Amino acid sequence: MVNKKWIAMLLAGGQGSRLGELTHELAKPAVSFGGKYRIIDFALSNCTHSGIDTVGVLTQYQPHLLNAYVGKGSAWDLDRNNGGVSVLPPYQGKNGGHWYEGTANAVYQNIHYVDQYDPEYVLVISGDHIYKMDYTRLLQSHVAHGAHATIAVIQVPWHEANRFGIMNTDTTDKIVEFEEKPDQPKSNLASMGVYLFNWKILRKYLIQDEQNPVSSKDFGKDIIPKMLADGSSMYAYRFDDYWKDVGTIQSLWEAHMDLLGKNPAFSLNDQKWQIYAGNANHPPHYISPGAEVKQSLVNEGCIIYGQIDHSVLSYNVQVGAGTTIHDSVIMPNVTIGKNVTIERAIIANNAVIEDGAVIRPVKQSDDIILIGDRQKIFTHI
Amino acid sequence: MVNKKWIAMLLAGGQGSRLGELTHELAKPAVSFGGKYRIIDFALSNCTHSGIDTVGVLTQYQPHLLNAYVGKGSAWDLDRNNGGVSVLPPYQGKNGGHWYEGTANAVYQNIHYVDQYDPEYVLVISGDHIYKMDYTRLLQSHVAHGAHATIAVIQVPWHEANRFGIMNTDTTDKIVEFEEKPDQPKSNLASMGVYLFNWKILRKYLIQDEQNPVSSKDFGKDIIPKMLADGSSMYAYRFDDYWKDVGTIQSLWEAHMDLLGKNPAFSLNDQKWQIYAGNANHPPHYISPGAEVKQSLVNEGCIIYGQIDHSVLSYNVQVGAGTTIHDSVIMPNVTIGKNVTIERAIIANNAVIEDGAVIRPVKQSDDIILIGDRQKIFTHI
Amino acid sequence: MGNVLGIINLINEKPFLKELTQHRCMASVPFGGRYRLIDFTLSNFIHASITKVGVFTKEKYRSIMDHLGSGKEWDLDRRNGGLFILPPVHPDEKMKGDLEHFYDHLEFFQRSHEETVIISPGYHVSKMDFNDIMAKHKADQADITVVYKDYHGTSVEKPIYHTCTFDEEETVTDIELYTSPVPGEHVCLETFVISKKLLINLIINCVGNGEYDLIKDAVKANLHTLRVKAYHFTGEMPFIHSVESFHSGNMAFLNPEIIRSNFYDSWDLYTKVKHEAPVNYGLSSKTSNSLIANGCEIEGVVEDSILFRGVKVHPNAIVKNSIIMQRGEIGEGAYLENVIMDKQARITKDTVVMGGFHPKVIKKAEII
Amino acid sequence: MGNVLGIINLINEKPFLKELTQHRCMASVPFGGRYRLIDFTLSNFIHASITKVGVFTKEKYRSIMDHLGSGKEWDLDRRNGGLFILPPVHPDEKMKGDLEHFYDHLEFFQRSHEETVIISPGYHVSKMDFNDIMAKHKADQADITVVYKDYHGTSVEKPIYHTCTFDEEETVTDIELYTSPVPGEHVCLETFVISKKLLINLIINCVGNGEYDLIKDAVKANLHTLRVKAYHFTGEMPFIHSVESFHSGNMAFLNPEIIRSNFYDSWDLYTKVKHEAPVNYGLSSKTSNSLIANGCEIEGVVEDSILFRGVKVHPNAIVKNSIIMQRGEIGEGAYLENVIMDKQARITKDTVVMGGFHPKVIKKAEII
């Protein structure tokens, strides 16, 4: 067994209840994204590109699809004999079973998993953000600072800073204070939910935190503040590329719109940093005579007779003649009939939209419309 | 996706508490066997040889080692893109989480897993028996009988029949009665815990049983009796080769002794039915000048200076000079010093036996001695 | 099935595809926007649950090795069985025929546990149900089953096809080698079912007699001593024997019905996964009746064409009735019609390239 | 490491091992009871986290393809990187030298993302820490690092080793080709570290000048223009250049200290897994100072010997100072001494086979 310099623990347990029907039957990291991917693909691909070959995926809520999707990990080159990707659900030991109680507890319950690789560093990331990040730079910064923990941060607009965990740093980027969703933020450096720890130190804190009866057993709420309070050497690592939390229908839709255009805010077609996806075997898509596709991303397996403008179409989507789709996100295996109108909507997997249906907000300023999994829509909505 | 004719559900959840310290930190199917294997290897290898390429391993108690051991399944050629081996732990859904309550409940909770392969038949097996069995013959018999369920049975000595689930059959091997551990057995055909079901029928019974508040949700206690009571077409399939339940220290030891000799009761060295094992990369073993090895199985990685007679040595066992080992089972990574005496004992993984220690029952008729995992033995026991 | 050994026989490939087979064997030629010809046969094997496949290669097989890799995409990275590439054993000598090559790898056949062998070339574009063929083979109690298809292609100038005749019980009575078939004639698809034991005997006997040709010396020569039966393949399959028929065979896929029947209906066509992003259509793009693979970026006009992965069509470029292979790039204002553009070729700004009845082939990595 | 491309260069193998290399290349020769020679270099690569490996093969490489398979056992079945077998591109022409072969596969180098290349032959039996070699290469700011070892073998008749000399700063000043070294001389292990960019330049320049030999034309010829540094390998490594030295190199492993240092100490030696059962020792067995691989069944006497997987020693048979490869069988009452028995060979009842100073080699599948 070759020991590992670092491994990643990917938090994929959350239900993501603000995504409504999208997470009815699957965990948030398994939600479709970008016409081809699932949200978790971004974190997993980042690991692969950063040379991390051992990833523990901590999962609890509706793990089957995620389990089947991650499989043996070959899509991300994580089907390794030593290491690779492991889905880590809760379990029963001699003293009965425990569901994961918080993010820190989830890692605590898998200390033995981490220990078997004896890593120097552990990267803790979450499976619900859209970004391309080379974690090796974070590691370099961590080592250069001789830090106990390094937290990746991104500048957010000042008026949104109160929605994030905010880092207050000194001039060397050493973290001096951490505030979870502060009313009066002193900085706009928000935590991206990407933490690098020296394993020996984190291990100690996890065990300590577990014995604290009032702890919520969460990295942001408990572990980080405690380490800070103890005077640990903690640094911020500034990330200045695209990063988006897709925790709501609105932000999920926005992130899709960010993919479109000639120079999109976030490009998926990056040969040096491909995003890997599982089960990616579909035929080329077919655009019929009379169809019109502009400013859009269309994935394999689609058959298009209608007009698509400024939208994202996932695999195996069928669009009938006379149909127009604007500013929308169509998830996999959706069948859309003829003369349908879809605007500012997200249509979830396997939905069926019958001929002539109209799906659009009453007013342009209204919320994005969500059509849930396997729904069948006959007419106006 | 290619649909599957049949898949297997392997019950690996049990603690196996009668194995004492051996299952302190691992599930019974993960216990070492035969110098090289773990108990679950026999069921998994049977699946591979029978052409079953989709196996769900239902696990609950201390699943980590089993999880890490099964891995992506490549040892058993079960690292398939479509199907392969999947470890299926309990999970949380919309309505919270449920640990597996019984063998039937464990399969019930994974109905969606089975459904995704849409199999015609489901083989339910357990991960704690030692046997080589071609399940395709069971399938042939099942199909020939047009059965709803077929249960593999083996003749046991009449005086032991009261320890098993006993099938009473008519002359065509149709099961007419099932008795769990009967005081007055009417037959000596014991259930091997190997069931083949038509999935559609089993699925119905699993859902029905789940709604029965007094059911223990077990195949042997609930599903089989209910199907029989309903007049389902159920047949026994007679198996007449070696089969052993290794649920106790005594039976585990006996099964090891069955491996020894020129024509052993159970041969591991069968080129047509190899037993596959994970992590099987160790160097050849070394027998020093002065060592003596007779009537024994010795696995790779050992370094032997002492005398071994009628025993089984697992990988990476070291035996010092002047030491004698008789009628014993030495599990992996055990270090045995010089001038040690070991008789009628099972020494568990990673134990260390110091120079001069004597490990043997006081009387030949006493129980087999078990030295637990990682124990360090200095002198007499 | 589990009891069948699949053989893909690349030995008898002819240089029909000219420039396209200059640096690769025919089985490795790209097809249908995303595939290589060999993917069709391999996928057919997978759908028949064949898990041990031997690919007998002759020359220019490096790209096929690259493409197949460990066999993972076809689920053939197995300990028991899996994918075996069997190159020539005596590369310095001219190969006398496929049977010689089989003979050199006789151990491969002998060591296989499978009882039945299916042999097929690597360039058939078809969805062939080998389970059905096997079932007929068994029901017929045949020694050899020969798969044939009624010829429907345009007439061929050179005599390149083998045709077979059979009686009313579909017992093959003759195989005519090297003919120019007319529509309706029974073209032998060089696809056979045979027991491994019989195949080994035939190989040893033929080679012992200085005979080296499977269809001529093992099949045709034994029509009267063995029970050789015919299987009528009635599915879609273009006859590809020239650059034109390769072009038209591709274009036949510009039809949703054909796409559906070939790529869906639970009959996945497996190929190497390349992780390309979805196609990005620009504001000025205009696409019609075309098959577009992932990774493309389209800002120009694409009509009646097939674009492989990662093709770029710049603004005001026009692509008509053409096949653009992987990573091709069509510069601004360029015009292409009736063209087959091999991988990584590039058409510079405002260049016009037109083929006539014979599509114009642009070589790999060529810049025009 | 992640940024290093590993090359195993089988081009310069010499037919030192006679019958043992009659049907296989040297890298594929069995060694140490369970391995092939190439396993050592491959395992060294793995321990340095090298995840892309190209094996440049010349001839008789079928058994190496069989052995390596998909690369799964070495964790090299990867989408990015992994194992690449690179056979000759022009099999019908005599290869002029390793640089020609590298040139034919120039695209392989060019397309690789790795910046550094380690080149090694496939037959060194050693535990070599490439991380350490790389570290020195960097610290030295070397263009090329040449790995050498002080000669310790018996004297060789034919001049087959390249020796190097260097100054007090370990800058290589000369490489003498084809010498017969005396103990203590610095034998160049034909193992090099070089940047990919420089390697590509050297390949193109040399081949352009009609020069085809890596060590002579790329390394030696540039000693005065490039910064070529020496790395002293001090670990265990037998010099194998004859059947005798192959035999003694194997026998050196009959030593628990050597076994421990080569096979344990968290330096796994990876090889193809064969799922053999533990060794079965019978009532009449007597084994002493021997290395025994799984799957063996021993009822006779085995002394000072190495038994590969699946060997059977029947009652009253005696095996002394011998190497018995996979699936060998020694009949009842037979006597073997100083023998190397290739795979699947069989010694019949009561037969006596003895080698002298030159071990007697029994060919693959031979029956005596």
Same-domain check for residues A225 and A304: no
Do B225 and B295 reside in the same domain of the chain?
A: no
Residue D48 in this model has a pLDDT that exceeds 60: yes
Task: Please tell me whether residues D196 and D99 are part of one structural domain.
Answer: yes
In the prediction, which pLDDT does D63 show? 86
pLDDT value at residue D1: 44
**Quick one: C19 and C140 in the same domain?**
yes
**Chain D closest-CA separation from residue C30 CA (Å):** 19
- Residue A271 belongs to a domain: no
Domain assignment present for residue B278? The answer is no
The number of angstroms, rounded, from the C-alpha of C295 to the middle of its chain's C-alpha atoms is: 24
Considering the domain architecture, whether residues B218 and B341 belong to the same structural domain is answered as no
If you average pLDDT over every residue of chain A, what do you get? 89
Residue A17's pLDDT band, with cuts at 50, 70 and 90, is low
Higher-pLDDT residue of A363, D11: D11
pTM of the predicted protein model: 0.86
Q: With an 8 Å Cβ cutoff, are B290 and D259 in contact?
A: no
Identify the chains in contact with D, defined as 3+ C-beta pairs within 8 A. Answer: A, B, C
User: pLDDT at position A90, please?
Assistant: 78
Looking at chain A, which residue has its C-alpha nearest residue B117?
A: A68
Q: What is the mean pLDDT of chain B?
A: 89
CB contact under 8 A, B64 and A91: yes
CA–CA separation, A351 and C253 (whole Å):
27
Q: pLDDT > 70: what percent of chain B?
A: 92
- B36, B262, B276 member nearest D282 (Cβ): B262
Q: Is A5 a known ligand-binding residue? A: no
Helix B63-70 vs helix B40-49: angle between axes, to the nearest 10 degrees? 30
Nearest to B206 by CA among B149, B248, B247, B160: B149
Looking at the complex, report in whole angstroms how far the Cα of residue B72 sits from the nearest Cα belonging to chain A: 5
Q: How many domains is chain C built from? A: 2
Q: Are residues D228 and D128 in the same domain?
A: yes
Q: What is the predicted pLDDT for the residue at B341?
A: 94
Query: pLDDT (tens digit, 9 = 90+) per residue, A262-302?
Result: 889 999 999 889 999 987 788 999 999 999 999 999 999 99
Q: What is the pLDDT of residues D216-266, one digit of tens each?
A: 999 999 999 999 999 999 988 999 999 999 999 999 989 888 877 776 656
- Beta strands B32-33 and B37-38 are antiparallel
The answer to whether residue B109 is domain-embedded is yes
Asked if A300 is an interface residue toward chain C (Cβ–Cβ < 8 A), one would say yes
Helix, strand or coil, per DSSP, at residue D344:
coil
Q: What is the CATH number of the domain that holds A174?
A: 3.90.550.10
Model confidence over A118-127: pLDDT tens digits?
A: 999 999 999 8
Same domain, B38 and B145: yes
CA distance B53 to A261: 45
Average pLDDT over residues C58-75: 85
As a whole number of angstroms, the distance between CA C361 and CA C342 comes to 7
Of B205, B239, B258, the last residue of a domain is B258
Residue identified by tokens 């260069």 is D9
B372: CATH: 2.160.10.10
Instruction: Give pLDDT tens digits for D343-365.
Output: 999 999 999 999 988 899 999 98
Whether residues C190 and C291 fall in one domain: no
Tell me whether residue C269 is in a domain. no
Whether B346 and B208 share a structural domain: no
Pair (B248, B305) in one structural domain: no
Interface test with B, best of C3, C42, C49 (most B CBs within 10 A): C49
**Structure token digits, residue B114:** 């089975």
Question: Closest Cα of chain A to D238: distance in Å?
Answer: 25
Q: How confident is the model at residue C336 (pLDDT cuts 50, 70, 90)?
A: very high
pLDDT over threshold 90, residue D3: no
Does B207 share its domain with B129? yes
Q: Give the DSSP letter string of D264-330.
A: -TT---------PPPEEE-TT-EEESEEE-TT-EE-SEEES-EE-TT-EE-TT-EEES-EE-TT-EE
For D56, the domain range is 4-264
Residue D108 falls within a domain, yes or no? yes
- Confidence check: pLDDT of A26 > 80: no
Could you write out the DSSP letters of every residue in C115-176? SEEEEE-S---S---HHHHHHHHHHTT-SEEEEEEE--SPPPSS--EEEEEE-TT-BEEEEE
Assess if residue D10 is contained within a domain.
yes
Residue A256: CB partners within 8 Å, gap ≥ 6? A33, A34, A312, A329, A346
Please check whether residue A135 is in contact with residue A123, taking contact to mean a CB–CB distance below 8 angstroms: yes
Tell whether the model's pLDDT for residue C286 goes beyond 60: yes
Domain count, chain B: 2
State the smallest CA–CA distance between residue C72 and chain D in angstroms.
Answer: 8
B94, two tokens: 């919309």
Of C233, C264, C295, the position where a domain reaches its end is: C264
Among C32, C34, C278, beta carbon nearest to A268:
C278
The verdict on a CB contact (< 8 Å) between C33 and A275 is no
Q: A303: pLDDT confidence band, cut at 50, 70 and 90?
A: very high
A274 in a structural domain? no
Report the pLDDT averaged over residues C168-177: 93
C32: closest CA of chain A, how far (Å):
8
D336, D320 Cβ separation under 8 angstroms: yes
Question: Could you give the ipTM of this predicted complex?
Answer: 0.82
Please name the residue of chain C whose CA is at the shortest distance from the CA of residue A277. C275
Residue B137 has pLDDT above 70, yes or no: yes
Task: Compare all CA atoms of chain D with the CA of C75 and give the residue at the minimum distance.
Answer: D70
What per-residue confidence (pLDDT) applies to B141? 95
Q: What's the confidence (pLDDT) of residue A3?
A: 65
For residues A131 and A145, what is the distance between their CA atoms, to the nearest angstrom?
A: 24
Say yes or no: A302 contacts chain C, CB-CB below 8 A: no
Residue ending a domain, among A210, A242, A258, is A258
| Contact status of C323 with chain A (Cβ, < 8 Å) | no
Question: Residue A269's closest CA among B337, C327, B50?
Answer: C327
Q: Is C156 found in the same domain as C17? A: yes
Instruction: Please tell me whether residues D49 and D194 are part of one structural domain.
Output: yes
Asked if the structure places residue B63 within a domain, the reply is: yes
- Residue A165 marked as a ligand binder: yes
pLDDT(A22) > 80 = no
Q: What is residue A172's DSSP assignment?
A: T
Chain A residues within 8 A of D268 when measuring between CB atoms: 1-2
Has residue C368 been placed in a domain? Answer: no
The reply to whether D79 falls in a domain is yes
Question: CA–CA distance from B268 to each of A241, B31, B260, C222, D61 (Å)?
Answer: 58, 17, 10, 45, 33
CATH number at residue C330: 2.160.10.10
Percent of chain C that is helix, strand, coil (3-state, to 5): 25, 30, 50
Residue A1: predicted pLDDT: 46
- Whether residues D251 and D348 share a domain: the answer is no
Buried b (16+ CB within 10 A) or exposed e, C119-153: bbbbbbbbbbebeebbebbeebebbbbbbbbebeb
**C229 in the same domain as C293:** no
B129 pLDDT above the threshold of 60: yes
**Residues B239 and B121 occupy one common structural domain:** yes
Determine, yes or no, domain membership for D269.
no
Residue D357: burial class (beta carbons within 10 Å; 0-12, 13-18, 19+): exposed
Q: Is the dihedral of CA D341, D345, D349, D353 positive or negative?
A: negative
The reply to whether D284 and D247 lie within a common domain is no
A13 annotated to bind ligand: no
Co-location of B33 and B109 in the same domain: yes
> CA-to-CA distance for B111 and B58, rounded, in angstroms?
12
User: In this structure, is residue C355 part of a structural domain?
Assistant: yes
Given a contact cutoff of 8 angstroms between Cβ atoms, the answer to whether D54 and C51 are in contact is no
Kindly indicate the confidence band of residue D208, based on its pLDDT and cuts at 50, 70 and 90: very high
Do C30 and C89 reside in the same domain of the chain? yes
Q: Does B373 touch chain C (CB under 8 A)?
A: no
CATH number of the structural domain spanning residue C193: 3.90.550.10
Q: Please state, in angstroms and rounded to a whole number, the distance separating the CA atoms of residues A326 and A346.
A: 11
Tell me, yes or no, if A267 comes closer than 8 A to chain D by beta carbon: no
Non-local CB neighbours of A130 within 8 Å, separated by 6+ positions: A33, A34, A39, A42, A242, A243, A244, A246, A255, A266
Task: Identify the sign of the CA torsion B226, B227, B228, B231.
Answer: positive
- Domain identity same for A92 and A222: yes
Does residue C66 sit in helix, strand or coil? helix
Subunit contact C278:A34, Cβ cutoff 8 A: yes
Per-residue pLDDT at B1:
46
DSSP A61: B
Q: Considering C196, C229, C264, which residue would you say is the last residue of a domain?
A: C264
Last residue of a domain, one of A258, A277, A310: A258
For residue B116, the chain A residues in CB contact (below 8 A) are 68
Q: Hey, what's the torsion of the CAs at D253, D258, D260, D263, to 10 degrees?
A: -60
| Probe site for chain B from A60, A85, A86, A91 (most B CB atoms < 10 A) | A91
CA distance C102 to chain B (A): 26
Asked if pLDDT for residue A337 goes beyond 90, the answer is yes
Report if residue A279 sits inside a domain: no
Which phi and psi (to 5°) does residue A255 adopt?
Answer: -60, -35
Q: Report how far residue A366's alpha carbon sits from residue D90's, in angstroms, rounded to the nearest whole number.
A: 67
Query: How many whole angstroms separate alpha carbon B333 and alpha carbon A100?
Result: 33
Is the domain of D319 the same as that of D260? no
**How is residue C325 written in tokens?**
């292979």
Best of D292, D301, D329 to substitute, by most chain B Cβ atoms within 10 angstroms, is D292
The verdict on A358 touching C (C-beta cutoff 8 Å) is: no
- Between the ranges A16-20, C179-183, C323-327, D251-255, where is the mean pLDDT highest? C323-327
A92/A206 same-domain check? yes
Taking CB atoms and an 8 Å cutoff, what residues of chain D touch C89? Answer: 62
In terms of domains, do B245 and B292 share one?
no
* pLDDT one-digit tens code per residue, C196-216: 999 999 999 999 999 999 999
- Judged by CB atoms closer than 8 Å, whether chains meet at B2 and C266 is answered as yes
Residue C266 has pLDDT above 70, yes or no: no
Residues of A in contact with C33 (CB under 8 A): 283-284
- Residue D304 within a domain: yes
pLDDT digits (tens, 9 = 90+) for A53-78: 999 999 877 677 788 888 888 888 88
pLDDT tens figures, B223-239: 999 999 999 999 999 99
- Minimal-distance CA residue of chain A relative to C289: A288
Number of continuous H segments (helices) and E segments (strands) in chain A: 8, 31
Distance from CA of D67 to the nearest CA of B (A): 15
pLDDT band at C257 (very low <50, low <70, confident <90, very high): confident
Q: What band does A306 get if pLDDT is binned at 50, 70 and 90?
A: very high
Inter-chain CB proximity B48 and C47 less than 8 Å: no
Domain annotation covers residue B29: yes
Q: Count CB neighbours of D93 within 10 A.
A: 11
Among the listed residues D7, D15, D172, the one whose alpha carbon sits nearest the alpha carbon of residue D83: D7
Structural contact between residues B353 and B377, judged by C-beta atoms closer than 8 angstroms: yes
Q: In this structure, are residues A71 and A272 in contact, taking their beta carbons and an 8 Å threshold?
A: no
Last residue of a domain, one of C235, C264, C293: C264
pLDDT at position C263, please?
Answer: 66
- Domain residues for the domain of B220 are 4-258
Rounded to an integer, what distance in angstroms lies between the CA atom of residue C329 and that of residue C343? 10
* D31 and D104, same domain (yes or no): yes
Q: Tell me whether residue A270 is in a domain.
A: no
Tokens of A331: 């998830």
Q: What average pLDDT score do residues C265-271 get? A: 76
Beta carbons of C72 and A34 less than 8 Å apart: no
CA angle at D142 for the pair D140 and D146, rounded to the nearest 5°:
100
pLDDT of B22-36, one tens digit each? 676 667 888 999 999
The residue count of chain D comes to: 368
**C-alpha–C-alpha distance, residues B7 and C129, integer Å:** 23
Q: Do B77 and C47 touch (CB under 8 A)?
A: no
Give yes or no for C268 touching B (CB within 8 A).
yes
